[in-house]
DNA sequence: TTGTAAGCGTTATCAT
DNA sequence: ATGATAACGCTTACAA
């Protein structure tokens, strides 16, 4: 391995100068700089990042912990995180916790040892454990909020409201909600806005695992509950429901309308294409990086370690109702839309 | 920050002993060990991985470079890599090259600086550049082969053959191939087996970007070419084609059969569910890690730097035809299946 | 502008 | 079994 010393020696300068020429180009004489850079290139010098990290105390890496990298939205978050990190000169250490709350805590710790801070997506762990993360190192949450940690989440209540208003304006009056996991923060968020639109009866169809089959499994209760439209916890569930409805000979949206949540790629690939609430996952990833690395931070405050008495920074990203083909007119066609909230 | 020295001092031992107690537990006296471990815990000691890496020359990380982490198969590879790496005590540094061949080379270099070796998925770069990667550090390819680098790929020709034989046994005689990108190694692989099944006429429909819309765009040529069945470069294209066919009133599989490639989650969510060739992406990720880290390697050979004259290790994983609903009987119904190759 | 030298926190060699 | 001590490769005061 060719080290900085080798380059320095070959270029006839001290290691210090060689280091400067490489990392702080404008502080060394032009001639020297060129000479060093050239010899470095010739020798095929490659900086040892471990040594650099040790000397500077900056690993140049951030951690990203996700429950399941195969889930479309986590993949999107990863995309955003990676892109923003690269822009900022950082690398991304990723870890998949396999939806396991135990693993999550352990992994977050392990990752934190090697990075400047970690971005934790939709943590499955309990609130108590969440608090403990703060003193392992800077931590930013995505799709979950906590009193101790900075976070970026979504204006889901607004999204729910928009979906509900949309359905109402189409003439629907009783709407079913096929909920997410009982322990999911995001489900509680969605539920919190379920009654925000007046003139609607909401039928709560309970909690479901956020997978395709849950939608299929819910089809009987949906049909029995008397609703003319259904809001689902996420797109996967919605697609499962639509499929199952169709296989029963029930048409979407003619007989029943369905709305999803997330706007994953699948939402546009089904027939009918899914009306859904779009969450800006990749953007969330980018913002989380900024929060973590303190870009645009008000003052010298470390993410994850807020100054005493100061609330951690929380960002909520806007969502957007994307109307496609899975929603149509309901029983009471002739009703004008509610005024926009 | 609490360092090993702090722990050592507090425990009344030398840093060396403290280090041993932590990393090589059975070489220190039981009593000492307990004392050190306890104080370490009490003080909240967390090892500085950069220092460890510098001292041992092992970063404990591997790199994973993918064209697009949002693509289902790369996500699956990442899942496999992550899981296997964790089992082996390694962490995964990930980088998304955004389908950009330039970025790919640069990123691979950057990543290589911080890790023990990198796994490069479906590289978009040219063959020439590929060769240059070897001396940046150990490198393993996934879904591409090279004369210089170890790789794990798939027995796609077998898969093509199986798909073709399946269609033939259903009574199809002329089959269209909707190909992938002209530069894709995987497309060449698939094409290489296109004529392996006798008694079939193959209509080559040219190259297409591997996205949903390509399938939709290909619908006219498909219908014009006289084929009763279509083999697509991948599932996305296949689904696009099916959708487009259906919107023209053409039924799948009654009027035309469609086969995909990859077996992404989407393949089971469409109506009809897609018949496809399943590629074991996650397994490929795991194997790539093993190749990279030399687990099960014959001798002291570094991946990516094969001993002179010795061919790099290449693994080809088996594939499987998954028959679902998008393929049905063709014009010549009554024909018995070919004997299995 | 450049060089000297002192770390950064661990591990590993060599004595003891 | 444990303790000095010297690396590991780089950065960064501090001097010159």
Q: Would you state the pLDDT for residue B338? A: 55
pLDDT reading at A83 higher than 70: yes
Alpha-carbon distance of B153 to B318, in angstroms, equals 9
Q: By residue range, what is the domain housing residue B123? A: 4-149+281-317
The answer to whether residues A269 and B212 touch, using CB atoms and an 8 Å cutoff, is yes
CA distance A242 to A276: 13
pLDDT of A341 = 46
Beta bridge partners of B151: B141, B314
The residues, any chain, with a CB within 8 Å of residue B233's CB and separated by 6 or more, are: B178, B179, B180, B184, B186, B187, B190, B208, B210, B261
The pTM (predicted TM-score) of the whole model is 0.94
Helices (H), B15-118: 15-23, 30-43, 49-56, 72-87, 101-112
Specify the pLDDT at position A298: 44
Shared domain check, A239 and A98: no
**B204 in the same domain as B286:** no
Q: How far apart, in Å, are the Cα atoms of A184 and each of A95, A123, A143, A159, B149?
A: 20, 9, 10, 17, 45
Query: B144 Cβ partners below 8 Å, 6+ apart?
Result: B120, B122, B123, B130, B151, B153, B185, B186
In a domain, B332, yes or no: no
B328: in domain: no
Of residues B337 and A258, more confidence is placed in A258
Residue ranges with strand state E in chain B: 61-66, 91-96, 118-121, 139-142, 151-154, 174-179, 201-207, 229-232, 257-262, 275-278, 314-317, 320-322
pLDDT of residue B294: 85
pLDDT < 50 positions in chain B: 296, 298-301, 334, 341
- Residue A143, domain member (yes or no): yes
**Which chain B residues are within 8 Å of A54, Cβ to Cβ?**
48, 50-51, 54
B161 and B249 share a domain? yes
Is there a single domain that holds both residue B186 and residue B81? no
Mean pLDDT of A314-326: 98
Min Cα separation B113/chain A (Å): 7
Quick check: A66 pLDDT over 90? yes
Q: Does one domain contain both A273 and A312?
A: no
Residues of B in contact with A266 (CB under 8 A): 266, 269
Spatial distance between the Cα atoms of B155 and A243, rounded to a whole number of angstroms: 33
Our CA-based measurement puts residue A70 at a distance from the nearest CA of chain B, in whole angstroms, of: 5
Mean pLDDT, chain A, as a whole number?
93
Instruction: Indicate if A78 and A34 belong to the same structural domain.
Output: yes
Structure confidence at residue A310 as a pLDDT band (50, 70, 90): low
Domain count for chain A: 2
Judged against a pLDDT cut of 90, whether residue A295 lies above it is answered with: no
B330 within a domain of the structure (yes/no): no
Task: Provide the pLDDT for residue B310.
Answer: 64
pLDDT band at A294 (very low <50, low <70, confident <90, very high): confident
Contact B94 A94 (CB under 8 A): yes
Sheet harboring B201-207: ordered strands across? B201-207, B174-179, B229-232, B257-262, B275-278, B320-322
Same domain, yes or no, for B132 and B223? no
Both B145 and B177 in a single domain?
Answer: no
User: Is there a domain that residue A329 lies in?
Assistant: no
Euclidean distance between CA atoms A294 and A316, whole angstroms: 17
Domain shared by B256 and B293, yes or no: no
Of the candidate ranges A38-47, A71-80, A289-298, the one whose mean pLDDT is the lowest: A289-298
- Please give the share of chain A, as a percent, with pLDDT higher than 90: 89
Residues A140 and A201 in one domain: no
Query: What's the CATH number where A118 sits?
Result: 3.40.50.2300
Mean pLDDT of A47-61: 97
Domain boundary among A231, A252, A280: A280
For chains A and B, CB pairs below 8 A equal 120
Coil, strand or helix at B124: coil
Q: Is pLDDT above 50 for A68?
A: yes
Confirm whether B322 is domain-assigned: no
Nearest-by-Cβ selection for B93 from A93, A98, A271: A93
Residue B323 within any structural domain of the chain: no
Supply the pLDDT for residue A312: 81
In a domain, B133, yes or no: yes
Residues B138 and B287 in one domain: yes
pLDDT reported for residue B27? 92
* Single residue among A260, A280, A300 that ends a domain in this structure: A280
Model confidence at A274: pLDDT above 90: yes
A115 shares a domain with A191 = no
């Amino acid at each position: 391995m060719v080290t900085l010393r080798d380059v320095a020696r070959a270029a006839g300068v001290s290691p210090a100068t060689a280091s400067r020429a490489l990392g702080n180009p404008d502080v060394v004489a032009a001639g020297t700089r060129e000479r060093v850079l050239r010899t470095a290139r010739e020798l095929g010098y490659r900086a040892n990042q471990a040594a650099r990290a040790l000397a500077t105390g900056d690993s140049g890496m951030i951690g990203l912990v996700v429950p399941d990298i195969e889930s479309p939205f986590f993949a999107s978050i990863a995309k955003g995180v990676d892109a923003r990190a690269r822009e900022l000169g950082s690398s991304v250490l990723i870890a998949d916790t396999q939806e396991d709350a135990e693993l999550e805590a352990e992994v977050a710790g392990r990752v934190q040892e090697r990075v400047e801070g970690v971005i934790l997506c939709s943590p499955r762990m309990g609130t108590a454990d969440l608090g403990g993360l703060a003193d392992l190192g800077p931590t930013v949450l995505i799709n979950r909020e906590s009193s101790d940690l900075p976070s970026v989440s979504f204006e889901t209540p607004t999204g729910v409201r928009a979906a509900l208003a949309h359905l109402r304006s189409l003439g629907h009056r009783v709407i079913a909600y096929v909920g997410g996991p009982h322990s999911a923060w995001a489900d509680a968020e969605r539920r919190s806005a379920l009654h925000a639109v007046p003139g609607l009866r909401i039928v709560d169809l309970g909690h479901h695992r956020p997978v395709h089959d849950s939608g299929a499994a819910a089809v009987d209760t949906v049909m029995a509950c008397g609703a003319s439209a259904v809001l689902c916890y996420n797109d996967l569930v919605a697609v499962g429901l639509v499929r199952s409805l169709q296989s029963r000979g029930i048409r979407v949206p003619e007989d029943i309308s369905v709305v999803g949540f997330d706007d994953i790629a699948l939402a546009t690939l089904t027939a009918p294409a899914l009306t859904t609430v779009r969450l800006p996952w990749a953007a969330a990833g980018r913002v989380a990086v900024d929060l973590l690395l303190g870009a645009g931070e008000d003052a010298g405050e470390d993410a994850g370690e807020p100054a005493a008495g100061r609330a951690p920074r929380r960002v909520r990203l806007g969502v957007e109702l994307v109307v496609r083909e899975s929603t149509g007119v309901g029983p009471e066609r002739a009703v004008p839309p509610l005024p926009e909230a």
